[in-house]
Structure 1
Amino acid sequence: MDRVSEDEGVRIGTAEREEAQALLSRQFSEGRLNPDEFSERSAAVAAAVTRADLAPIFADLPAKPGGDRTPDLVRARDWRAIVMALIPLVALGFTILVPHGWLAWLALPVLGMLLYGRR
């Protein structure tokens, strides 16, 4: 028996099933599965006992969902997330150092809408 066949016969545990379910959910959220297919495949993931049981569930799906995104889009998200993480610190500084600095907290939802609003 070769190594690949041995690996396929290995029993899986809860962690592997949860990882497979998360991957399946991601595939569904990216539109590769309809609700019925997602439901059927989710049941198959829950019933899987070995790695070989999981293989046919993902056979017609890409290994890494979301791989077709361009690096520019990923970079764009990164700088926006950094800005959103730093704004509360700036607002806290205003709250402590400036009279009526608490008004800086009002900038959070406005900035969020500007950065993450529909385009």
Structure 2
Amino acid sequence: MDLVREDDMPQYAVLIYPAADDAQAGPEVLQAHDRHAAELERSGGLVAAFALEPDATATSIRADAVTDGPFVDAKEVVAGFYVIEAPDLDAALRIAGANPAVAQGGGVEVRPVEGSFVRPTAGG
């Protein structure tokens, strides 16, 4: 089943990697991300956005083992992600580069979306 129509604008996933000390950051960090999300929403380019609980709440499955914590042991852990529409990768990189995580010492990863599905809400 083809989940992306050919006439749709390309979509890009933006994975957010906060600075290592953001887990202890105050409300100003979250407010900066909220402002950025509102700007993206107003622009019409935001498709979906998801904030994730801290990596300590992750549970990983590898083969037949289930363990607490993220899948890989790394300093950088994805804190959230969103999907944007942009005419091309260069535009997506410009949009993603405005994410507050970049200015706060973290970073973002931009990846083209190959297909997507979002379950409709019960009311619509």
The alignment's TM-score, normalised by the length of structure 2, stands at 0.29
The structure richer in helix per residue is 1
Structure ID, larger Rg: 1
- More strand, by proportion: 2
TM-score by length of 1: 0.30
